[in-house]
Structure 1
Amino acid sequence: MRYSFRNILFLAFVALALGGCASSGKLQPGSTPGLQTVPVEASSSEKAQKLWQVFERYRGTPYEYGGTSGNGFDCSGFILTAYQEGLGKQLPRTTTQMLASGDVVHPGEIRPGDVVFFRIGGKEQHAGIYMGGDRFIHASTSAGVIQSSISGYYWKGRLTEARRFD
């Protein structure tokens, strides 16, 4: 029985460590669980190249709830900064506000530079920027600014929506 409790405790810790930012609120009505992407090479998009440059500048920057600078980012703070610095665009500050704006991107039409949203822990949302080839960049609570695979163990099945901010 002690062994089972330790396993549960370990799994709870892993879920918390891998969880996304909590600056978002809840899913918008009509969200699409299991949204799929069409792989696109990151190098095929000028937008993606500019965003990769911002990512390289901030790679490894620690997670900080409410953070929007090189001292620390939350997920939406990183997206906001990446769009400002890389593309000269102003986005809403929180994931909830991002979900309420931008153009809805339908399954199979996600392109590099689109903002992708994930369901974490029920109502909470996490967001990142799709970069093509199954990759997205984001600020994770456990590792700071990183790139991850949308189909990776933790993220697979959690992608719910995407928005385009052109």
Structure 2
Amino acid sequence: MSIIIMLFSGCSSQASLQYADDKSDFLIIQKIEQQYQVWNKTPYRYGGNSLKGIDCSGFVNNFYNQKLNMLIPRVTTDQLKVGESVSQLKAGDLVFFKTGRGTTGMHVGIYYKNGNFLHVSTSKGVKFSNLNEKYWKERYIEAKRIVS
């Protein structure tokens, strides 16, 4: 198991976040890859919930419901209230970001592996991004693990 330690800095504080890519995450990783295969390049659409367009919380909600048979809230701010906070990420954990103002200024994605997460970009649709990218580092809030 390899552990990479990353420091994320926000506007006023620093949070330490680690990710451990473990071979036991193989099944979740496969499910994330399957989700990507189906939804790849599906465009972002606020409130959307289909292959014609979907928003970040709808995408996460769909993944948990369809691939993991778990019901979680539909809205990002409500998703942030469930699960347990974690600092060592595993595949399937939710990663949250503050990307704007108010409740619509929240963003969520699904941790994959090697610092990458799957999400819905407002400009490029469903895609992988890396937590180490400056944009995401500066906006990272918290990670949550949903337990059944």
TM-score, normalising length: structure 1: 0.73
Please state how far the C-alpha of 1:139 moved relative to its aligned partner: 0.6
Please state how far the C-alpha of 1:42 moved relative to its aligned partner: 7.8
- The equivalent residue for 2:98 is 119
Structure 2 regions of 5+ residues with no counterpart?
1-12
> Residues 40 and 132 of structure 1 are in contact (CA less than 8 Å); yes or no, is this contact kept in structure 2?
yes
CA distance in 2 between partners of 1:95 and 1:75 (Å) = 8
Higher relative contact order (CA 8 A, sep 6+): 1
Please state how far the C-alpha of 1:37 moved relative to its aligned partner: 2.7
Instruction: Please point out which of 65, 79, 92 is paired with 1:84.
Output: 65
For 2:30, the aligned partner's letter is: Q
For 2:46, the aligned partner's letter is: Y
Runs of 4+ more than 3 Å apart: 32-35, 41-44
Structure 1 regions of 5+ residues with no counterpart?
1-31
Task: Provide the aligned C-alpha RMSD in A.
Answer: 1.9
Judged with a 3 Å threshold, the aligned counterparts in structure 2 of structure 1 residues 140 and 35 are, in CA distance, closer, same or farther, namely: farther
Is 1:139 matched up with 2:134? Answer: no
TM-score, normalising length: structure 2: 0.81
Could you report, residue by residue, the CA deviation over 1:17-57 in whole angstroms, capped at 9, with x for unpaired residues?
xxxxxxxxxxxxxxx75442324168843112112201111
- Identity fraction in percent: 38
Aligned length: 133
